[in-house]
Every structure is written in C-alpha cells, then in structure tokens.
Structure 1
C-alpha cells in the first residue's frame, strides 16, 4: 500500500513526521482531499504539552490537525455535491448517522462522534484525507487555502452566536481575545451587534481585536478584582450591561465577571474551556433570570454560514493568521506556538506538497 507523511504526536511533548498509509475510498459517498493548509488549534497544543484533554487521553500515536482545507482529488461513485478539482474546507467531526442527536441536527452532541485528532481518531495533517461528501464545503476561488483552514474555528464562533441569538442593536461582551474570541466578536458584528467589547490581559491581543469588530476594548490586569472588571465593562458601555456575553478564556475570574456583567434577562455563552469545577455566583445569575448556554463545537448549518461569511467578506480572517510554516517544519510550528503563546493568534501549516 502506498504511504504518505503524517505529523504524529507519539506521546506528550514528542511530535514526529512519520509514514502512514494513503487512504482508499471504500464508501461511495467519500471524497479524497489533498490537504493544502491546516491550522494549529489550542487543543492540538494541549495534547502536545499535556497528553490529554479531560477524558480524551493520547494512549497511542495520534495524527494531529483538524482545521484544514484542500483540493478534491478523487470521489466515490455516489458523490454528487463536489467534483475533482474543487477547493474545499473540511469539517473534521463525523457523527453516527443514526443517533437521536444527529437526527435532531445537534450532531455535535452525538456520543459516537469521530472527531479528527481527538483520541483515538487520527487528524488531517497528512497529504491525503478521506471525508464524507456532506462534510466538505466548497470554497470560493478568491479564498486562500490558509483562510479556508480557519473555517473550522470560525464555525465555533458562528455556533456561539447562533446559540446567543445575536441580533441587530445588541451590545456584546467577549472575554478573551484568542482566536475563537476574536472570531466570536467578528461574527457578532456581522450579525448586527452595535457594540462589541473585548477584554483581555494583553494589549497586543486587544489591538488585534480592533480588526475583528471591536468597538471598545478593556485591558484587565490579572491581579485585579473581578468587580473592577465589571465596572470597566459597564463604564465602557456608558453604564449599561451587555445583552450577550461570550466567555472565551475559561478563567474562573472571567466567568464570575461574565455573570456579574450580563444584563438582566441577558444571555451568557460559555465558549472557553477551563477547570472542571469553579466558584460560580449562582444567586446573582438566578436573580437576573439570565440564560446560560454551553457551547461545544458546531452543528447543522454552522459550517455553511462560516463559509458564506468568509466568501462575502462579512468576516475577514486574514489578520488572524500570524505565522505560516511548511509541512516539513510542523514540529517547529508546534514548538513556536508553545514558546510564543502571547504573540501567536493562528499558526498555519501548509502542504505537504
């Protein structure tokens, strides 16, 4: 069987480029994609540095990568939605076709989800990758493969905004100006939010936020009190409280500040991952009759919307990309993300050629 190179996490803190078999189409609805660009996600870095995320533990070598775009090079006999030569973004999680969650459209909650680069499923940092035809999305010719690789995190931001029912005229607060936080704010602005306030501990990230829909920014010092943060947020909004809060940092202090910041009857969407257990101001939340929503990946329609936002220019992801490495330097790319975490927004690995 022919082989290809793959970026493999052997174990915690050890990534190597190894050979893996080139997959063959066996399902008539599958397509083979030549991967052209892959983004490094925080989860990939976490597996690299920690070896696990919650219950997902790297017990055997794992091919990394799940934010990818490429070109269709082969299609199964029953494929009708794409053809050879199409440029596509790849949705990396395929659920069971028979679960109640999938049938309801909430396939992100399917207990049988096979998600790329999540143990035990290999990821997309290879030359050729197989995907069902309904989990690839055509890209407009003017969208680069690097931008196409950002469709995956953009879909998370779309999902968060759909959960929040973000609408015209609203004030939105984003806590944490990392990649998903920046995109959540950009999507909120595209959905019609009038005010988008970003909060972060790094001035450089807040400067970046100005390219992603920020109308106001708040620099929060890590040693400051959460009540100080609430005061800064409401002051920035002229004494008002935000209609929607996206908590994208996972930090306990920010989660508590989010509860205290959201307006009465407002919506709080938890996007960031943090500690399993935190001190949560439940009484204040209840008295506000606020709505709390967890946010996990994306479901029906989110990838489509992300591609449309990108192709129409409603969201520009180019400023998100801070560094590009060739496939041959994938190990260096991961080390770069770890060593320059403060300055990295989105690193892209191109190829392999």
Structure 2
C-alpha cells in the first residue's frame, strides 16, 4: 500500500468476505499502469489525491475462490479478468449505458478505493469476466489496458482500411495499435521520441514509424482518418490534429497537461471530431474475444514480474524505455 509519496509498505490484512452479489478473487497477476506510478511519485492525479493509505493496482486477473449471496456457486474456480470500475447502476449516465462516466463509480486504486496489489480482493460478480484457458494469468490482467484500446479505436471509428496515427509507443499506444490492426486498419502510423519504443511498435501492429523529434514529420501530408493521442504531450496533440483529413476523428487518451492550445480554425474548417476518453464501457467481452482468438499479443508485452515485496522496483521499471508492461504477482514473495 502507498502511505505517502514514495512510501510503500506491505501490510497483513484479513481476507475480505464477498458481500451480496460479489465474488472473492485470489489475485494472480496485476499490470503496473502509469497511474500507479504517478500516485507513487506525486501522490495525486488531478483532483484524485492520496489522503490515506491506498492499495495500488487496477489491471488485475485471478481466480474466484468464494462467492457471496446471490452468486451461483458454479463460478468457484473460474479464472477471470477484473473490470476495476463498478458504477452505482442508477444514475443518468449508467441508465444511458455510459457507466464509465458514473459520478459514483468505485474504481480500483483511485482514492479512496483500494486496488488489487493484494492477494485477495472482492468484486461485483458481473465485473469479474470469465476468461478461457487460452488467455494466461498475465493476459487476464492486461484485458484492462486492452479495453482502453478497444474504447479509443471505437471512438474514432477505426475499421477495415482505416489509416490511423497513434502518438506514443508506450503500453497504451501499443494496445491501440494492436486493436487497430485487429479491426482491419491497413496503415498504422506510430510516433514516439524513444527509438526503443518505436522498435517495439513494429511487433505490435505499426506499419509506419515516425520519430517525433524530426521537424515536420507529422503534418497534413499524412492525411489520416483517425488520430489517437496516447502521449499526453501538447506538441504531439497539436501536430497530430494537423495530420487528420477532413471529417476525421481525434481521441485524446494520454494524460498530460490539464490545458493546451488547439488549432481551432483547422478543426472547424476540416469539421474534425475531437473527443476525450475516460476509461471504457462494455469493452471487456470484445477485448477478451480478441485475446482469446490470438488477434492481439498480450503476453509479448510483458517485460518483467515482481512480487509484493518488490512493488517499488515494479513502479520504477518505466525508467528503462525497454520495459513495456511489468506485472505484479501478489502470491509471489
């Protein structure tokens, strides 16, 4: 658990009991996300501030070992991917199917809700999605970031024959590249400032690599149908928008500056659609199906495994650009 900026500790707690409609999950693998790293180094993300000890981790998979009242006992022993954000189900956004925008969502590792860097967690049964044996324990956890890619590609209408620009070749950018490829995009242009990350992108769907440090490498000459920013860097956002053809779409996925300037006249003149993305809704079935069918490679993105005693090392692994996705295994000591 995170007790303060840069202050981690392993604490023994009682195994939780599943409430009505919940399951108890023995956690197998949890991917480390950039948000976990940000909380560790800064103690906050925007308005979300760590004010009390917080268990990090939200990219989890595991096995159901107990069920609460109202949950069929046949689910015992089932391997699952954990969708980490459980909404209230009754607000306007939930009723409209936009449960990712629920103002009362309880999301793992978002203050004050504990996450799944733990040996056992409870979760609403319908947010524990069964996975087939063809998906590894690591893959079950990585259904979460894959869902980010499914959601973003859906927002910009990626489909057969699409020409897509993705800024940022980190884990989320590579997940988006994989989803774009699976959805039939024929040109997937990935940009980054790190040569190591760009090299990795060739293994995960990129058909064209762009060194974002090169002047004018990204601009109107690309004429892409869709631009997905996974970097959060203001220059990358501005440049990427100029590369979108008339009537194209832009999705802002990366978290960077709270405010930035945009080429408004260009957006107006080309009638571009620019949207933010906030997590995802109803994506887990699609993400699981893509992984089960071998249309995406989740295990290939894993570059390290750590136990609970080594979470600080896991949270620092991003300092090496060769690391793509590292995994915490709570049962490993």
Question: Which TM-score bucket, shorter chain as reference?
Answer: over 0.9
Map residues 243-254 of structure 1 onto 2, 5 A cutoff.
243-254=225-236
Provide, for residues 72-97 of structure 1, a one-character-per-residue CA deviation record: whole Å limited to 9, x for no partner: 00112321496111111100111111
Shift of 1:328: 2.7
1:184 and 2:165 matched = no
Match of 1:20 in 2: 13
Residues 81 and 133 in structure 1, CA contact (< 8 A), matched pair in contact too: no
User: 2:322, 2:67 → 1: CA distance?
Assistant: 40
Distance 1:335 1:100 in 2: 40
Distance 1:207 1:115 in 2: 33
Tell whether the 8 Å contact from 1:328 to 1:352 is kept in structure 2 after alignment: no
Aligned positions of 1:152-163 closer than 5 A: 152-163=144-155
Deviations 1:95-136 (A, max 9, x none): 111111111111010000111100010001111110111101
Distance, in Å, in 1 between the alignment partners of 2:77 and 2:159 is 38
- 2:267 corresponds to 1:285: yes
Q: How far does residue 277 in structure 1 lie from its aligned partner after superposition?
A: 1.2
Cα distance in structure 1, aligned partners of 2:313 and 2:218: 40
Q: Residues 28 and 329 of structure 2 are in contact (CA less than 8 Å); yes or no, is this contact kept in structure 1?
A: yes
- Structure 1 stretches of 4+ moved >3 Å: none
| Aligned counterpart for 1:343 among listed residues 295, 302, 322 | 322
Provide the rounded CA distance (Å) in 1 between the counterparts of 2:125 and 2:26. 14
Aligned partner of residue 18 in structure 1, secondary structure: coil
1:305-316 equivalences under 5 Å are 305-316=286-297
Residue in structure 1 matched with residue 95 of structure 2 by the alignment? 103
Matched, 1:42 2:34: yes
Distance 2:304 2:211 in 1: 25
The offset of 1:142, in angstroms, is: 2.1
User: 2: CA distance between counterparts of 1:306 and 1:279?
Assistant: 33
TM-score by length of 1: 0.91
* 5+ residue gaps, structure 2: none
Partner residue, 1:318: 299
Contact 1:117 1:124 in 2 (8 A): yes
Matched length: 332
Measure the CA separation in 1 of the matches of 2:73 and 2:188.
37
Specify the alignment match of 1:63 in structure 2.
55
TM-score norm. by structure 2 comes to: 0.96
Matched with 1:332 is: 313
* 2: CA distance, partners of 1:252 / 1:334: 25
Q: Distance in 2 between matches of 1:249 and 1:336?
A: 18
Matched, 1:119 2:101: no
Query: Aligned pair 1:128/2:116, yes or no?
Result: no
Match of 1:261 in 2: 243
> Residue 3 of structure 1 corresponds to which residue in structure 2?
none
SS of the counterpart of 1:21? coil
Q: Distance in 1 between matches of 2:177 and 2:110?
A: 27
CA change 1:244–1:81 in 2 (3 A) is: farther
Separation in 1, partners of 2:157, 2:301: 24
Quick check: 1:81–1:134 contact (8 Å CA) kept in 2? Answer: no
Partner of 1:276: 258
